[in-house]
Amino acid sequence: MDQRTDEKLVEAYRQGETEVFRLLVERYHDDLLRFLTRLAGDRQIAEDAFQDAFLQVHLSLGSFDTSRRFRPWLFTIAANKARDLLRKRGRRQTLELSAPIGSAGGGSGDGGSFIDLLEVEVPPPDTGLLAEERDEMVQRALDRLSDPLREILLLAYFQRLSYAQVADELGIPLGTVKSRLHGAVASFAKNWREVSTERERPANQE
C-alpha cells in the first residue's frame, strides 16, 4: 500500500502519475460515503455526491494548494455536492441507515460514536440496545437537526476538524463556529433523549 500522504499523492498526480488518483478514491471511499450518508440521510444521494465530489477534485487538482490539507478540502467539496443534490430533490429523503457510526476500516479517519463524544447517557449493553439499533437511533437524532447544525456537527466530531478548520472550510467566523457547534451539540443531545424515549415507549405501554 502506498504510504505517501494525500498531499504527496496530489503532487505525484500533477507530475504524471495518473494512477494515484485511484488510490485517493480508495483511501476515502468508506469514510466519505459514511459522512455523506449521515449528512444527506440517503445512501443514493451519498453515492451520487461521492462521484460528483471526485469529479470536481479531478478537475480542480491542478489548482489545489498543497500547503493545505487534502482531507478537509475533499470533504467540503463533497458536502457542497450533497447539498446541491438535496436542493434539486427539494426535500430530504427517507433515511438510509446502512452507514454505521463506528469505523468500518479502509478509511484513514476515525468514525467514532457521536454518543461517546457528546457524553449522552447511553443504555448499557444488558438493556438489549444492539449496535445496529444504536446507529439507527443516532441517525434519527441527526436527521432532526437543521442542515447547518448537522453539517457542523459532522465536520467537528466525525472529521475531527478544529474550530479554525471548520471556520475556514465553511467560510464563517470562528465565533459563529463555536456558537453553532454548541447549539448542534445541545440539539443532538435533546434529540437523542427523544428517540430513546420513543424506543422505550412501546415496551412501557404493553
Give the tens place of pLDDT for each residue, 188-200.
Answer: 888 888 888 887 7
Task: Tell me the CATH architecture of domain 1-93.
Answer: Orthogonal Bundle (1.10)
Give the CB-side neighbour count of residue 187, counting CA atoms within 13 A.
19
Q: How far is the C-alpha of 183 from the C-alpha of 87, rounded, in Å? A: 24
110-206 to CATH, choices 1.10.10.10, 3.40.190.10, 1.10.10.410, 3.40.50.1820: 1.10.10.10
| Amino acid, res. 108 | S
Q: Quote the cell numbers at residue 156.
A: 467537528
Write down the domain spans for the chain. Answer: 1-93, 110-206
Q: How far is the C-alpha of 57 from the C-alpha of 136, rounded, in Å? A: 31
**pTM of this structure:** 0.59
Give the tens place of pLDDT for each residue, 160-188.
Answer: 778 888 888 778 898 898 888 888 888 88
Mean pLDDT rounded to a whole number for the chain: 75
Note the pLDDT of residue 188: 86
pLDDT band at 54 (very low <50, low <70, confident <90, very high): very high
